[in-house]
Structures are given as structure tokens and as C-alpha cells.
Amino acid sequence: MQAMIEQVKRVAMEAATAAGKLAKSRFDGAFAVEEKDEHGDLVTEVDRLAEAIILEKIRAEFPEHGIRSEETGWSGVEGDYLWLVDPLDGTNNYAIGLPLYAVAITFFVQREAMVGVIYDSVQDKLYLAERGKGATCNGQPLRIKAPKAGRKLTLGWIQGHIVQKEERAMRLKHHLDLTAKRVLRVWAPTLVWCMMARGDLDGVVLYNSEGDDLYAGLLLLQEAGGLVIDFDGEPFAGMHAEPYLVGCHPDKRNELLAVVQEGLLHT
């Protein structure tokens, strides 16, 4: 198994880097943009070109594996091995010239994330997480920084496209806005998880946002020494169709969970 994991890491890193460099090279140029759903979510030709690069590399070495990709959907063989691919997380940012986007690739064995790769081509930062083996950024060990005592919270907020203006979500978000120093919503979830794994945020609150961009970030935070729990305070593992999650440094668990649960009581 470990030999295969090493091969998976190599393929994922090569694929993410190639796709990210393509996106960066096309960032300031002209590219086609389409709306792909009634919520205003976008897809660009760069999404599709980057996805094609990634899928070609995975299929060349793992033709027997299943793949779920943001634009193509399901392909390959259903079984124990699954790849989740988001070739351009942050498409809406990309389309309006905001340089906040990344590539996310996750490899699963029996629905358990084993390898996560995120490439931030704007900053040329390649993040790698392997279950039980830690996390790195550009090959250097990545460990979450301890939070500073007494500091007001700086949080990341992530919500699924399907949530839109759901009243419960908006009330929770409003409570966080009132409680925290600031709440960031950058529409590129993988970058939020990278910030959390570095310790640049005090916490992340995710409201019903399952997708191909999710699990690489969760694994990165966990392997960097962070905590991922649900709104009831239970550890998160595996996959979930409707996740409601909190990510933070272990020392911030009780404080942040109390803030979220207080906000939910008001919804």
C-alpha cells in the first residue's frame, strides 16, 4: 500500500502543479466564462483545460481508480480507490481577476482521505498532507501555530452554493460577525484551510459545503496538528454529504465551539 501512496503523492503533486501553472499563465488573458447553475456559479475554459491535465495524469497511472471531478463528474471504476479533483477552486474569483484560487486533489481509500494536495499557484505554494504522516508546504514541515491568548477571533466562513441566503446560515454568520474581530469569506475554501493550517486564522466555520475542494483542506489541517469537529463537537472523519464543521487549533476548540453553538441557539 505504501508504494502506491508514494506514487499517488507524486502524481497528485505533478498534476496539481501543472494545472495551477496553466491557470496562472492564463490569468491575465482572455478566456470564456459560462454560468453553470441557477445560483450564478461559474465555469471557465481554464477550469476545463486544467481538469483535462489532471485527469490525463491520473488515468495514465491509475486507470482502475474512480474519479469525481468538479466539471466532468464521475469517471473510472467504482471501488476502494477514489480521487476528488477541483481543478480551479475559486473560479468566481478567477473570472473577475481576483488572484485567490487553487487546485485541490484528494485521494481516498475506502472513503477515508489518505492524501491531499493543494497548489496555490499565485504564491507558488504546494501543500501536501498524508494521513498519519504529517503535512508540508513546499517540502517543509507544516505545523499549526499556537493561538495568541486574549486575541479577538479572526475566522474563515465557508458555505455551500446550495445554502444561498438560508435564514439559519445567515443568522449564524451574523452572530459570528458580531462576536469576532472579522470573518473572512473568500470563495476559495482550499485557501481558507491552508490559512488555518498555518495558524493565520483562529478558526474556520463551514456550513453545508461538501464538494471536490473540501477534503484536501480538512486533511491538511488535521495533519498540521489542527482539529476538525462537527457542530456537536464530535471529531470529523470520512465523507459526509452535508457537513457542518469547525476547524481550529486544539486550544481554541471550546471557545470556538461555544461561539458557534450560541449562534445556532439564536437561529
Q: Residues forming the annotated binding site for Mg(2+)?
A: 70, 86, 88-89, 213
Dihedral pair phi/psi, residue 20, rounded to 5°? -65, -40
Side chain identity at 170, as an amino acid letter?
A: M
Dist CA 84 CA 73 (whole Å):
10
| Grid cell in block for residue 9 | 503523492
Half-sphere exposure of 151 (CA within 13 A, CB side): 13
Whether 121 contacts 20, CB under 8 Å: yes
Q: Which residues are known binding-site members?
A: 70, 86, 88-89, 213
Whether 156 contacts 211, CB under 8 Å: no
Dist CA 13 CA 34 (whole Å):
28
Dist CA 172 CA 10 (whole Å):
40
Dist CA 56 CA 80 (whole Å):
20
Whether 212 contacts 84, CB under 8 Å: yes
Whether 120 contacts 88, CB under 8 Å: no
| Residue 238 CB coordination number (10 Å) | 10
Dist CA 40 CA 68 (whole Å):
22
Half-sphere exposure of 164 (CA within 13 A, CB side): 6
